[in-house]
Structure 1
Amino acid sequence: MNRFTIQFDEIKAAYAAEPNPTLEVRLERIGRIEKMIAANEEKLCKALIADFGVRHPIETRLAEFQMVYQACKYSRKHLKHWMRPVPMETPWYMGSSEAWLENQSIGVVGIMSPWNYPIQLALLPAIAALAAGNRVWLKPSERSSRTSGFLAGLIQEYFHPSEFCVSTGGSDVAEPFAALPFAHLLFTGSEAIGKKVMRAAAENLTPVTLELGGKTPAIVDTSAKLKDTAAAIAYGKLLNSGQTCIAPDYVLIESSSQAEFIQELQAAAQTQFSNPEELTGPIDDAQLERWQHLVSDAVERGAKVIPLLNNPAAGGRRFEPLALIDVPHDARVLHEEIFGPILPIITVADTVAAIAYVNSTPNPLALYWFGKNKKHLQQMIENTRSGGITINDVFLHATVDSLPFGGVGASGMGSYHGKAGFDTFSHQKPILQVRGLFGTSLLKGTQAVRPPHGKKVEQLLRRLK
């Protein structure tokens, strides 16, 4: 026994005392999250600035708070319907028997959230878990230490620890946390850490949802309007300085369009992010050094740097956003998730070649396609595998609560958001109530097939073929 198992047992005991919270209780808990954020927006923005150095409050409100408010609103609207039993079809030989699925809470849900969006990615899965009737234990990232610490204090203020508990710290906390026998464990972060989390969870046969990221492509078709396409990709790459799991990681474009696209990309980046206060900084020195190493490695191998802003070092920016062209295949930037304001631009011969390139890499968490050619679009949809797709823009599929959000293959497993989150943190219990035909004993359950076996059973088997 240690402090983690003792604490886990306390939360589990509280859940056992209330395993089926009412709709009203669930909505009240979700409402507390909404009130908690609304009452502390300004303080949370300051905590995020303290972690990132530069992070505009409007970016935080859009990418963090609005997602939380939207999830609360959507859950409030649909939760009553989600909780209802789901009628299921029964075969004719079951007579008047009825079948249904009963949505039940599962227990204590563990959440391991990342540093890049430390509010949104901690609270969205928590909202889903509470909507499903569970208790929640959160382990936020230590890299966003100020925000994680402040959020932990807020949660302790608004929730009893047996409802929604938080433990902060580094690997000394993360390792025993992942090893706890949760009813479900959701992790958002890197593939390398995701594998460790999965190994730890396997000891308890704990189901896991992994949101891992990967190298998200932006495919620019020859039918695309390059000005609009460049504006969307610039925003997607530079929001949060590219420290987004579904940021465009690289661009695939035909060589005939590359020069014009680069011009439009530079113009869009300058229009959107010339103000140094609107370009988020790296989370820490280790992140900055990694960006620098990725660029120097690519340049040493022959890549060319294309600056995206024409006012270098404005306001003391710690890193200048850039694109890379002529990047050799063995450069690290083409094999590692960038997670920063660096955009490799890769030329391909056509749609078939673009699809082949995407399929030569692990399945990404997202994919973006730009253009008007419906045939090329359908080819891309049918022949690539990704967690989700947004067409002619970036990010937006992840903001639609009716769409599941999750990865496939190397980009993760499982999904949440909206109903998908409720389902992830629920057990859909199958139930069959046996009745005979028209209230009689005719065709009632196993009665017709019980031994001793005779001709009636053989006749029944023939009819069932």
Structure 2
Amino acid sequence: MQTEVLQTPFEAIDGLIAKQRAFFQSGATRSADFRIEALSRLKDAITGHEAEIVEALKADLGKSHEEAYLTEIAIVLQEIDYHLKHLRTWMAPEKVSTPLYMKPSSSKVRKEPLGCTLIIAPWNYPFQLTLNPLVGAISAGNCALLKPSEFTPNTAALLQRLVKEYFISAHVAVVCGDQEVGAHVLRHKFDLIFFTGSTKVGKIVMRAAAEHLTPVILELGGKSPCIVDLDANLDIAAKRIAWGKSLNAGQTCIAPDYVLVHSQIKEAFLAKLAAAFKKFYGKDPQNSPHYGRLVSEAAFDRLEALLDEGHIYYGGQVDREDRYIAPTIIDQVPVQGKLMEAELFGPLLPVLTFDALEEATELINSRARPLALYYFGKAEQGEQVLDRCISGGACLNDTIMHVGNHHLPFGGVGASGMGNYHGKNSFEAFSHQRAVVSTPAGFDLPAKYPPYRFFGLIKKLL
């Protein structure tokens, strides 16, 4: 498999951007037929190369066939099908009411493409998080330049080959490379930049976009909290939290980052949580075909350095050569410790306790607004938590699953991001809502012109 990072020459990048801008200006991307045909080709590229996609994800992140399909391939295919079904309806101009004082004019909103867009993808879900935004870009009638992560070179190389095979580069193209390539791309003007990744890099992207007054959609992350309340169903909570935390070896932006559990049920919960990990991956997760690997040795080193804090209740086994860290439950974690500083983005799960729900919500609110919030307990209490704590998305008595519903917007708030996508929200994210007023030329109201002879009457109508 591919091991070296591909580097697209700067001159080639410049040429691709120029070609895409000329192609968009030609109007070729505007028709529904063009967009539908392009989305259908994208679907063919995925279904026709499923085995290669799975192989690339296995090589980069150790993902099993099942996990790769469920969390990467299926999500994109569902998104394509949803857009194909609804695209013509979404594209139709929307008639809106016109005030009496503007009659006989009529008003509508046109949903128009923005132009040339840039999609910068992360390494944790390198296939899904490159192509899911692309569905929105194509659906809305844009051109798109894709920059996959250099940390997943097998997936990046495959994406570049498939896009080149199924699209003309003037419409959709892939550029590959390290931070220097990314920096060069960001020097160009785009009509929208869609970035998924860390808050640190998100700030760099936003600064670059500001130079051209380019709008941005930032899908970032943060420490997503998980509350397990006194009356939670512990069997369900343990199973769903264990699954949400160990998916992709914890390298998920909406994974439960830490657990706040009621002190009276902590011991029972921890026992059930450990049992859930064992049931999923056996006594030795390193030998499980369903447990992934960390993306790099640098990611391994960062996480391993955190294992000396708190008490390891379960897990803790490591193998640097295999980029493996077991699902690990860490108890007795200090609130101001290293484990609670930044998003962990790995299979370490710190556990803290609370005695009153207000303690848990106060801790959450003392930190940056997270991308996700999870609560296990009674629905009424869960609604109170939602009222008290702001997050990008949330689940009551579950984890992760809100990302799977394309009827729901997905995005962050504050430090966890800005802008939403998925489903119709993706179409709207990559569209400009253009206000249009149409006025008959055969009739003209004199009241709007100086010297405003009927001002008193107009004032009453306003």
Measure, in 2, the Cα distance between the counterparts of 1:49 and 1:285. 16
| 1:94-109 → structure 2 map (5 Å cutoff) | 94-109=102-117
Measure, in 2, the Cα distance between the counterparts of 1:178 and 1:370. 42
1:60 to 68, 72, 85: 68
CA contact (8 A) 1:234 1:269 kept: yes
CA contact (8 A) 1:223 1:373 kept: no
Shift of 1:169: 0.3
Amino acid at match of 2:388: N
CA contact (8 A) 2:225 2:374 kept: yes
Q: SS at the partner of 2:306?
A: helix
What is the aligned partner in structure 2 of residue 290 from structure 1?
302
CA contact (8 A) 1:19 1:105 kept: no
CA RMSD of aligned residues (A): 1.9
Measure, in 2, the Cα distance between the counterparts of 1:394 and 1:102. 37
Q: SS at the partner of 1:333?
A: helix
1:358 to 364, 384, 390: 364
CA contact (8 A) 1:366 1:388 kept: yes
What is the aligned partner in structure 2 of residue 158 from structure 1?
166
Shift of 1:95: 2.1
Residue 391 in structure 1 maps to residue 396 in structure 2: yes
Distance 1:218 1:280, change over 3 A: same
Shift of 1:14: 0.9
Shift of 1:318: 2.2
Measure, in 2, the Cα distance between the counterparts of 1:400 and 1:463. 45
CA contact (8 A) 1:220 1:370 kept: yes
Measure, in 2, the Cα distance between the counterparts of 1:394 and 1:336. 20
What is the aligned partner in structure 1 of residue 13 from structure 2?
4
| 1:204-219 → structure 2 map (5 Å cutoff) | 204-219=212-227
| 1:123-134 → structure 2 map (5 Å cutoff) | 123-134=131-142
Distance 1:135 1:96, change over 3 A: same
Distance 1:463 1:75, change over 3 A: closer
Give CA deviations for 1:328-374 in whole Å, capped at 9, x if unaligned: 12212101100000001111122212111111110011111111241
Give CA deviations for 1:311-331 in whole Å, capped at 9, x if unaligned: 998x97821221111111221
CA contact (8 A) 1:269 1:308 kept: no
CA contact (8 A) 2:195 2:216 kept: yes
Amino acid at match of 2:205: V
What is the aligned partner in structure 1 of residue 458 from structure 2?
460
Measure, in 2, the Cα distance between the counterparts of 1:346 and 1:388. 22
Shift of 1:2: 4.7
Residue 304 in structure 1 maps to residue 311 in structure 2: yes
Measure, in 2, the Cα distance between the counterparts of 1:68 and 1:259. 40
Measure, in 2, the Cα distance between the counterparts of 1:459 and 1:30. 53
CA contact (8 A) 1:364 1:408 kept: yes
1:407 to 399, 408, 412: 412
Amino acid at match of 2:156: S
Amino acid at match of 2:289: E
Shift of 1:4: 3.0
Counting aligned pairs with the same residue, the percent is 37
Count the aligned residue pairs: 448
| 1:165-314 → structure 2 map (5 Å cutoff) | 165-274=173-282, 276-296=288-308, 299=309, 303-308=310-315
Measure, in 2, the Cα distance between the counterparts of 1:382 and 1:317. 40
1:423 to 417, 428, 432: 428
Shift of 1:463: 4.3
Amino acid at match of 1:162: A
CA contact (8 A) 1:109 1:182 kept: yes
Residue 367 in structure 1 maps to residue 379 in structure 2: no
TM-score, structure 2 normalization: 0.93
What is the aligned partner in structure 1 of residue 4 from structure 2?
none
Shift of 1:202: 0.8
Residue 136 in structure 1 maps to residue 144 in structure 2: yes
CA contact (8 A) 1:19 1:107 kept: no
Measure, in 2, the Cα distance between the counterparts of 1:240 and 1:415. 23
Shift of 1:381: 1.3
- Structure 1 residue runs without a partner (length 5+): none
